[in-house]
A and B are shown apart, each in its own frame.
Chain A
Amino acid sequence: MSLLLLYFLFLKATVTSFNGPSSLPILREDLVVRRQILTDRQLNAAVVAGRCAPGPMGIYVVSVGYFIAGLPGAFAGWLAMITPAFLIVPLLRYVGNSAEHPRVRSTLQAVVIASAGLILGSAKPLAIDAISGLLPLGILIGSIALLLTTKIETVWVIGGAAIFACLVKAAS
């Protein structure tokens, strides 16, 4: 696959989402389901890398790019991640005052809410791949509980889960 095409596939996902993880369903459909150049396991690993790194959640596309085409692929992912951010400049110049219009706000809010449904939908195949026994199931439930009831950063939850799984494996 050419880098330009890869860039446009990434861009299609990033430019049609309004927060980091909502690009996940689109990327999965294009790269895992349709073109089969990425596996669910690699996509899951990319999300792990993105969540453990500094910066916003959408940064996982860099890792997806690396899995597909090495450093040039990572560059394509990075470029597609930051490209939509430049759209704000013409917005600042021409439509700055309508951002708070109730109909615009309502439209964007609906997109964010629907994105949550799509994210949950895309989590299902990742869960099927990742939850292979009682231990991962326990970690899944524990991580959801921790994230919803405490203010622990996701990076510590993921790191703690990795260490916990290692300890259990070493003890068995």
Chain B
Amino acid sequence: MDRPSLRQIGNIFFRVGNVTFGSGAASTVLLREEIVENRGWLGKHQFALCYALARVTPGTNLYALFSASGWYLRGWPGAIVALVAASLPASMVVILLTLGYLAIYTSRLGQAAVVGAMAAVVGTIIAGAWQLIQPDVLSRNWFRTLVLVAGSMILSMGFGVSPIPVVGLAALTGFFWQDS
């Protein structure tokens, strides 16, 4: 296996982390192509382990995958370079978009645009939540899924329980009530 330089790692993760929108799936496929298929920097088994562990790492799964891959390639410096290259440019775009919001919000048409965008983003949140649970709702585990979703909504909205205890309770539920 070739050992890439930090500059090469930066180049790859810059491209992979800043060209896809809203979902980690496309970035994951792209990363696998670049570092496993095209360059042979990482073996298939190593990439699969990085992917599996990224799913169980707190925070953004995609960044955990980048961190793990970078660490395999060049240790801690590789992990840091991979994460910074993948996340910093996109974060700058977010700041520019925020500035854009602040700039246009005072104009009549700007306000209309913001109202439209905000309504749509509420739609994306609702659709995103559905997409998270859809495979489980439509599976044999539908009752467990229903209990978890309804339970978390009732606890947070009905009783004002903060999200962290709700997540903790869900983890305990999942630990003792395994999916079939």
| Interface residue ranges, A against B (CB under 8 Å) | 12, 14-22, 24-26, 29, 41, 44-60, 62-63, 66-67, 71, 74, 77-78, 81-89, 91-92, 96, 99-100, 102-124, 126-127, 129-132, 135-137, 139-144, 147-148, 153-155, 157-166, 168-170
Contacts and interface: CB of A to CB of B under 8 A. Distances in A.
A85 B94 contact: no
A51 B119 CA distance: 13
Given A18-B58, A88-B57, A117-B148, A158 B121 contact: yes
Nearest to B146: A113
B174 interface: yes
Given A84-B58, A110-B174, A122-B156, 13 more contacts: A17-B59, A19-B61, A25-B163, A29-B162, A67-B98, A107-B175, A109-B136, A114-B173, A123-B122, A126-B118, A137-B119, A143-B119, A147-B123
A139 B126 contact: no
Contacts, number: 374
Interface stretch (B2-10, B18-26, B34-42): B18-26
A-side interface mostly: helix
B124 A147 contact: yes
What band does the interface of chain B fall in when counting residues whose beta carbon is under 8 Å from A?
35 or more
A84 B57 contact: yes
B43 interface: no
- In the complex, the 5 A-B pairs of residues with the closest C-beta atoms, listed nearest first: A110-B174, A165-B116, A84-B59, A143-B123, A117-B152
Most buried by A among B57, B59, B60, B167: B59
A139 B136 contact: no
B67 A86 contact: yes
Contacts of A139: 116, 119-120, 123
Contacts of B128: 21, 57, 119, 147
Nearest to B66: A85
Contacts of B89: 54
